[in-house]
Amino acid sequence: MAFNRRIFMTAAALSLLWAQAAVAQDKIVLKSSDVHPEGYPTVAAVQSMGKKLEAATNGRLSIQVYPSMQLGGEKETLEMAQLGALALTRVSVGVMGPIVDNLNVFNLPFVFRDIDHMHKAIDGEIGQKLLKEIDDHPTAGLIGLAWMDAGARSVYNSKRPVATLEDMQGLKIRTMGNPMFVDMANAMGANGVAMGYDQLVNALQTGVVDGAENNYPSYSTGQHYNYAPYYSTTQHLIIPEILVISKKVWETLSPDDQALIRKFAKEAQLEERKLWAEQEQKALENMKKNNVTITEISPAEKKRFQEAMKPVWDKYGSKYAELVKQIQAVQ
């Protein structure tokens, strides 16, 4: 009897151990990268998505966000995700163009009439279609989960206030790693230099470049104003951000988990948008506090910047003509 009881207890203890092991094994922490610091809208939105996942799965599925380029620049984290060494990364569509060609349509200068137009495009059919193109791409190795807002990008530099197109002449301007942007900077009369965001502060500091182009929040949290205090509202690019997940990781998840991730990612898309508006205000205040010279580009001059983009459109526009038409039809 005593012997039987011992066997029973051992079996019970063993099965408990098994159960614990299974629970431990099932726990999945998805690592996610962002170049921006804690508190930035994109970081906060993915963290919030992780909390929702955790709550919906009783802690089995969660997201650990690594902000401030801790895991590297955007090109590097994309490569890691493609290999399955990293689950999630939030990057600009700017660096996704070289991976999934059609995404470059969002990278064309002045392709959107304004921010509202971009919102409608990413929330609608075209946004859905381009996310699916990522999923279906034979070699990208990524799944597109959500778009996010990044406002409009404008030029800044260390040399002089830029009020006209002519003021751009000869400035060495950093662009994101995509040949289209180098052509864009050159078409403005500047010299475009492509490099990762992770290299930018050093390049500004050492004078490798005279300036760059970005939205208020990146310029402000990146403290680029310390080296390039002349900001001009060219607003030549309106490029959404994107959250992608590694296809290798995705394929290990159950359809139910995949559906949850898609659902909360979509919610993150709208949540980030609300945070973005606040962050732009904060950034503008910080720029004023730090004596940034903000030069408003007049509508007439903006039109000249737009016309100067003709060589970029001549080179790339026809390739994306059908998509451009669809974007322009979004009201």
Q: Which is nearer to ligand GTR, 61 or 240 (CB)?
A: 240
Provide, rounded to whole angstroms, the least separation between the CB of residue 105 and ligand GTR.
Answer: 17
Q: Which is nearer to ligand GTR, 47 or 215 (CB)?
A: 215
Q: Which amino acid is at 34?
A: D
Provide, rounded to whole angstroms, the least separation between the CB of residue 19 and ligand GTR.
Answer: 42
For 288, the token pair is 């004023």
DSSP result, 88-108: EEEEEGGGTTTTSGGGGGGGS
Provide, rounded to whole angstroms, the least separation between the CB of residue 36 and ligand GTR.
Answer: 6
Residue 241 sits in the site that holds ligand GTR (CB under 6 A): yes
The vertex-248 CA angle with 247 and 253, nearest 5°, equals: 85
Q: Which is nearer to ligand GTR, 91 or 287 (CB)?
A: 91
Helix (H), strand (E) counts: the chain? 13, 11
Provide, rounded to whole angstroms, the least separation between the CB of residue 111 and ligand GTR.
Answer: 16
Q: Which is nearer to ligand GTR, 74 or 167 (CB)?
A: 74
CA of 254: how far to CAs of 163, 185, 247, 257, 314, in Å?
A: 54, 45, 13, 5, 45
Q: How far apart are CA 96 and CA 94, in angstroms?
A: 6
By CB under 6 A, name the one of 30, 31, 35, 184 that touches ligand GTR: 35
Measure the CA dihedral 175/180/183/187, to 10°: -90
Provide, rounded to whole angstroms, the least separation between the CB of residue 303 and ligand GTR.
Answer: 24
Range 43-102, binding ligand GTR (CB under 6 A): 74, 91-92, 94
Residue 279 sits in the site that holds ligand GTR (CB under 6 A): no
Residue 149 sits in the site that holds ligand GTR (CB under 6 A): no
Q: How far apart are CA 40 and CA 35, in angstroms?
A: 10
Nearest to 162 by CA among 306, 309, 296, 300: 296
Nearest to 57 by CA among 251, 244, 260: 260
Provide, rounded to whole angstroms, the least separation between the CB of residue 325 and ligand GTR.
Answer: 27
Q: Which is nearer to ligand GTR, 237 or 260 (CB)?
A: 237
Residue 197 sits in the site that holds ligand GTR (CB under 6 A): yes
Cβ neighbourhood burial of 150 (10 Å; 0-12, 13-18, 19+)? buried
Evaluated on CA atoms 159, 162, 166, 172, the torsion sign reads positive
Q: Taking CB under 6 A as the rule, which mask of x and - marks residues 214-233 in contact with ligand GTR?
A: xx--x---------------
By CB under 6 A, name the one of 61, 69, 143, 176 that touches ligand GTR: 176
Provide, rounded to whole angstroms, the least separation between the CB of residue 299 and ligand GTR.
Answer: 24
Q: Contact positions toward ligand GTR, by CB under 6 A?
A: 35, 74, 91-92, 94, 150, 176, 197, 214-215, 218, 241
